[in-house]
Amino acid sequence: MKISAAILRAIPFLFLVACSGSKEDKGNKLTFKNDLEGNYWSPSQNLISFPQSHSGNFVNKLETGQAFSNIFNIRVKDISSKPVKRAKVTAWFMLTGTDSEQNLVLDVRDSTMQNSFEWINVDATDFVSELNKWGKVELIVDLTLKNRNSPDHVFRIYAANGRKQPVYVDDFEISFEE
């Protein structure tokens, strides 16, 4: 019984470590990664086990009714004490047909997250040339424009698909440069 109690006390810590994602400081570059094996980002109803995942076992399946991937929300002031100048967001997309509306998004929001100041996106079809094959999609944003990097703003980052044709998304990486 003593071993069982020790294991039970360790479970919350292990869960926290396993689900924390990662944050690295590479000089003046901060990077956040999520391979969808843990939920550093907000939970998603469309996280599924997928044998053809880009890495690991899980992906986001985006389609009508479940149009958004896990969502990453971060306050600009929590990224760095210095102003951030650039964001680079990447994710791997698998398109299954031509009737989808797949986007990688950085949404600049107010401090309450109720209002969007600017919705910035790229269409995955600009990067993925073959159906049912993984392709890396990249969104680069100059954060010095339009007061995007105000410390009170929140960056909301996600993938979206507003159509019925499924789109699979895996392996997000977000880098900020000071």
Which domains, and CATH codes, for the chain? Answer: 21-177 (2.60.120.260)
Please compute, for residue 51, the number of CA atoms within 13 A of its CA located in the half-sphere on the CB side: 0
CA 171, 116, 94 angle in degrees (round to 5)? 25
Report CA Rg, the chain: 17
Q: What is the pLDDT of residues 57-75, one digit of tens each?
A: 678 899 988 899 988 889 9
- One DSSP character per residue, 44-79 reads -TTEEE-TT-SSSSEEEEEBTTB-B---EEEEHHHH
- Neighbour count for residue 55 (Cβ, 10 Å): 13
* Amino acid 165: pLDDT: 93
Cβ–Cβ < 8 Å for 51, 149: no
> What is residue 100's predicted lDDT score, i.e. its pLDDT?
87
Mean pLDDT of 139-150: 97
For 57, 95, 101, 107, 169, the CA distances from 128, given in Å and listed in that order, are: 21, 8, 13, 22, 12
Exposed / middle / buried, residue 15 (Cβ in 10 Å: 0-12, 13-18, 19+): exposed
Predicted local confidence at residue 45, as pLDDT: 58
Percent of the chain with pLDDT over 90: 52
